[in-house]
Amino acid sequence: MSELKETNKYSGAEIIVRALINEGVETIFGYPGGAILPLYDALFKQNKIKHILTRHEQAASHSAEGYARSTGKVGVITVTSGPGATNAITGLTDAYMDSIPLICISGQVATTVIGTDGFQEADITGLTRSCTKHNYLVKNINDLGYIIHEAFHIAKTGRPGPVLIDIPKDIQNSFADYFGKNEISRPSYQIKKRLSNLNHDNINSAVKLMASAQKPIFYTGGGVINSGDEACQLLVKLVHETGFPITSTLMGLGAFPASDSHFIGMLGMHGTYEANMAMYECDLLINIGARFDDRVTGKVSGFSPNSKKIHIDIDECSIDKIINVDISIVGDAKQAISAIIEEWKYLKLTNRKKQISDWWNTIKKWQDINSLAYEKNNKVIKPEYAIERLNHFTKEYQPFVSTDVGQHQMWAAQYIQFDQPKKWLTSGGLGTMGYGVPAAIGAQIANPDSLVICVSGDASFMMNMQELSTIKQYNLPVKIFILNNRYMGMVRQWQELIYEKRESQSYMESLPNFIKLAESFGIHGIECNKPDNLDEKILEMINHQGPVLFNCEVEKSENVFPMIPAGSAHNEILLGKQAKQYVTKDINAV
Amino acid sequence: MTQIPKKHVIAVLIDNEFGALARVVELFSARGYNIETLSVAPVSSDKKLSRITITTYGTDKTIDLICKLLNRIVPVHNAVELSKNIDYIERELALAQIICSKEQLDNACEAIKDFRCQIIDREEDSTVFEIIGTSANIDNVLEILNNYGLATVSRTGISAGFKGKKRLDQI
């Protein structure tokens, strides 16, 4: 880094490193290869940025997501051209769906070779155009520094998202001036920012609706967490000022403390009975930072049929996309919530819990149904029980919990209580199996002294289990807790309920010996298949200083309930004991 | 809003850089929508800003969403559906080659004299007309020229804008 060329110019690779340092980047995740070697050489010569070598580029991208989600910072990955970059695409798409700020720097073949089917050449800007917020192919070394800073600006402002910068090898090797971090001057992007200035009339109309509602409910999502810790604190304040019940999406868990009495659980396909019934019966729905995902709405025509709807979102594209609303407020959650609280106070409104006591009583009746109850068993471990015990013993540490995708993900969402934002790392929009282990790596790197748990399933874990090697290399005390039922559990559940139990390709006839697998990576393995031993084994896992791979063998045929079958409305929610009555309504619903 | 597909005209102001047009076009193709006409050219004196005019068929709701998504694209300055407001103007230009005898050519010229057409190239029995007008008018002229040995057609797709003082960059 320090060696200055005769001309006082820096190589492209040095400019990248300097620009990353100027953006405050401390950690990057990546994997070297031919077209990115100049950058890796520049990384070798400096000591400000720590590079984490994953074992697969997909894992690098999920690790960066875990890092970003758990800190609120931008995650950075560096990959080589061709397969390096295409491997990262799943992570970029995942980040795009869940609004996570990422920068992906990909090497590219030299500008003179682009378009000639060169070795490890892929049109990565073309391939990622629809899964990034923006992307760049750097063709002129003089643009490089500015582009990196603009990319960071775009990734973290507005609705956050992934941005890819494709940098040909000859650009990394050529020389130019670098003037540091200058102001970002992109008129087309400034216009978008102007659009998200709050409309005060809409705030006023929203508060008036809130003041007269008899059956109101807050429905909040990941946008509140993305808006920052202050937004989450303001949300708590708003809920307490109004006395309204609140439910959260999968992505929003932790924005509002789960232990607060106003919280009525997660809503949606596997949400609680009370949350879904309240959504169906409410007369005012206040959506803050959620996007009416189909896993939340169920059948759109039957979604919250009798309510007025307020939608607060930073992305205008989310407004009226799926559900038409009465009042839309385009803007940042923190500013919007703050403005609503101010307006609430300005109009001298007070806590309405008493005025809406009928509504709270109704909700109480729904809560009494206890939709998360499950049959106890003292011979085999019920997966719900395993997660309950895990939550019981780890709650005091306020752990970071990542998950993969499937049944275990839903049980974790249902039975683990999140009282703080940024602790819950899950792939919500894209539903990416293989997300959990690398995301936990990213979270542990960012929070070295915290307890980080990856709740996984046997099938999901095996999609990125090579990362045990990364965990060992950096001695990360990640606890991987596998609910092992030898199935792709959620696939099997749908096959049971919708395809008359035809278990097509969802059973894993061969699984590794997880203890030996862990040992072969130099990691402590724990196995448990008896409910009586579970507590002791969980404590062993928590108390072990290093990483742990925990193989928890659970009931094979357990299903996740409650369940709103795809294509049904919230009031058609099924509880565990009703499963047998299930009849497919819409064969095309996914 | 109606869910029946109908014609929509969309105008976009966008930075003139590589990849920008692809970003716009992909929003349509990703939803299985065909772009009927597309015209694009730099419109600012420094050539840094281009204007795109698109006609497509789709439902109102999807086109509304596409317009919002267009505005979300980083290099896009403004994107507006002109046809949402019936007060918009459109013009298209076409080049039509006919191959026929001198006598037939005279008849053809007579038949299309009420339209804005002029001959811009002739070689032996080949004649090329430049036709300017709304897309409908161009359709009419081509229909007539079909009877006089119409051989090849090239159309620009429409250029369009608001009627009156309203400007795209001031929306």
Q: Cβ(A331)–Cβ(A314) under 8 Å?
A: yes
Query: Quick check: is A519 catalytic?
Result: no
- For residue A579, the model assigns a pLDDT of 56
Q: What phi and psi, each to the nearest 5 degrees, are found at residue A332? A: -70, 140
Say yes or no to pLDDT of A265 above 70: yes
Give every CB contact of residue B53 below 8 A, 6+ residues apart in sequence.
B9, B10, B11, B12, B37, B38, B39, B40, B157, B158, B159, B160
The pLDDT of B41-64, averaged and rounded, is 94
Q: Length of chain B in residues, anyone?
A: 171
Q: How many CA atoms lie within 13 A of A271 on its CB side?
A: 32
Sequence ranges of the domains in chain A? 10-193, 196-368, 383-560
For B12, the closest chain A residue by CA position comes to: A188
Kindly name the residue from A156, A169, A181, A537 that is annotated as catalytic.
A169
Q: How would residue A198 be classed by pLDDT, with cut points 50, 70 and 90?
A: confident
CB contact under 8 A, B14 and A126: no
Which residues of A touch chain B, with CB atoms under 8 Å apart? 125-126, 129-130, 133-135, 137, 154, 186-189, 191-192, 195, 315-317, 319-321
- For residue B170, the model assigns a pLDDT of 76
- The one-letter code for the residue type at A412 is A
Give every CB contact of residue A545 below 8 A, 6+ residues apart in sequence.
A477
Say yes or no to pLDDT of A248 above 60: yes
Chain B interface mutation, best of A317, A321, A328, highest count of B Cβ atoms under 10 Å: A317
- For residue B2, the model assigns a pLDDT of 55
Q: How would residue A182 be classed by pLDDT, with cut points 50, 70 and 90?
A: confident
Tell me the residue ranges of DSSP E strands in A128-235.
134-137, 162-168, 175-176, 216-220
CB contact under 8 A, B19 and A154: no
Is domain A10-193 annotated with CATH 3.40.50.970? yes
Closest Cα in chain A, distance from residue B166 (Å): 18
DSSP A154-184: HHHSSS--EEEEEEEHHHHHSEE-----PPP
Say yes or no to pLDDT of B15 above 60: yes
- For residue A582, the model assigns a pLDDT of 54
CB contact under 8 A, A191 and B78: yes
Q: How would residue B36 be classed by pLDDT, with cut points 50, 70 and 90?
A: very high
* Residue of higher predicted confidence among A184 and A258: A258
Closest Cα in chain A, distance from residue B75 (Å): 6
Say yes or no to pLDDT of B91 above 60: yes
Using an 8 Å CB-CB cutoff, list chain B residues near A133. Answer: 74
pLDDT, averaged across chain A: 95
Q: How far is CA A47 from CA A50, A426, B13, B94, in A?
A: 7, 32, 44, 63
- For residue A524, the model assigns a pLDDT of 98
CB contact under 8 A, B71 and A316: yes
Q: Cβ(A122)–Cβ(A86) under 8 Å?
A: yes
What's the pTM? 0.95
Q: How far is CA A115 from CA A82, A126, A532, in A?
A: 12, 12, 62
What the block records as the tokens of A295 is 């896993």
Using an 8 Å CB-CB cutoff, list chain B residues near A317. Answer: 65, 68-69, 72
pLDDT, one tens digit per residue, over A132-168 is 999 999 999 999 999 999 999 999 999 999 999 999 9
Q: What CATH number should be reported for the domain whose range is B6-86?
A: 3.30.70.260
The pLDDT of A247-270, averaged and rounded, is 98
Of A23-37, A441-455, A561-575, B138-152, the poorest mean pLDDT is in: A561-575
CB contact under 8 A, A126 and B78: no
Q: How far is CA A332 from CA A101, A231, A261, A315, in A?
A: 15, 9, 26, 9
Q: Cβ(A24)–Cβ(A101) under 8 Å?
A: no
Which residues of B touch chain A, with CB atoms under 8 Å apart? 14-15, 18-19, 22-23, 26, 30, 64-65, 68-69, 71-72, 74-78
Q: How far is CA B120 from CA A68, B95, B157, in A?
A: 62, 9, 19
- For residue A578, the model assigns a pLDDT of 61
Query: Quick check: is A214 catalytic?
Result: no
Q: How would you list the strands of the sheet with A524-528, edge to edge?
A: A424-425, A400-403, A452-457, A479-484, A548-553, A524-528
* Helix, strand, or coil (residue A579): helix
The pLDDT of A85-102, averaged and rounded, is 98
- For residue A566, the model assigns a pLDDT of 86
Question: d(Cα A272, Cα A155) in Å, to the nearest integer?
Answer: 34
DSSP B38-105: EEEEE-STTS-EEEEEEEEEE-HHHHHHHHHHHHHSTTEEEEEEGGGSS-EEEEEEEEEEEE--HHHH
Kindly name the residue from A14, A23, A57, A65 that is annotated as catalytic.
A57
Query: Quick check: is A120 catalytic?
Result: yes
Say yes or no to pLDDT of A550 above 80: yes
- For residue A5, the model assigns a pLDDT of 47
- The one-letter code for the residue type at A363 is I
- Structurally, at CATH architecture level, domain B89-159 sits in 2-Layer Sandwich (3.30)
Residues of chain B with CATH 3.30.70.260: 6-86
DSSP A507-533: B-S----HHHHHHHTT-EEEEE--HHH
- For residue B84, the model assigns a pLDDT of 87
Using an 8 Å CB-CB cutoff, list chain B residues near A129. Answer: 19, 22-23, 26
Neighbours of B112 (CB within 10 A): 19
Closest Cα in chain A, distance from residue B99 (Å): 41
- For residue A4, the model assigns a pLDDT of 46
Give every CB contact of residue A131 below 8 A, 6+ residues apart in sequence.
A89, A92, A93, A96, A162
CB contact under 8 A, A129 and B30: no
Is domain A383-560 annotated with CATH 1.20.200.10? no
pLDDT, one tens digit per residue, over A468-523 is 999 999 999 999 999 999 999 999 999 998 898 999 999 999 999 999 999 999 99
- For residue A196, the model assigns a pLDDT of 67
Say yes or no to pLDDT of A586 above 80: no
Closest Cα in chain A, distance from residue B159 (Å): 22
Kindly name the residue from A1, A26, A46, A120 that is annotated as catalytic.
A120
Query: Quick check: is A418 catalytic?
Result: no
Q: What CATH number should be reported for the domain whose range is A196-368?
A: 3.40.50.1220
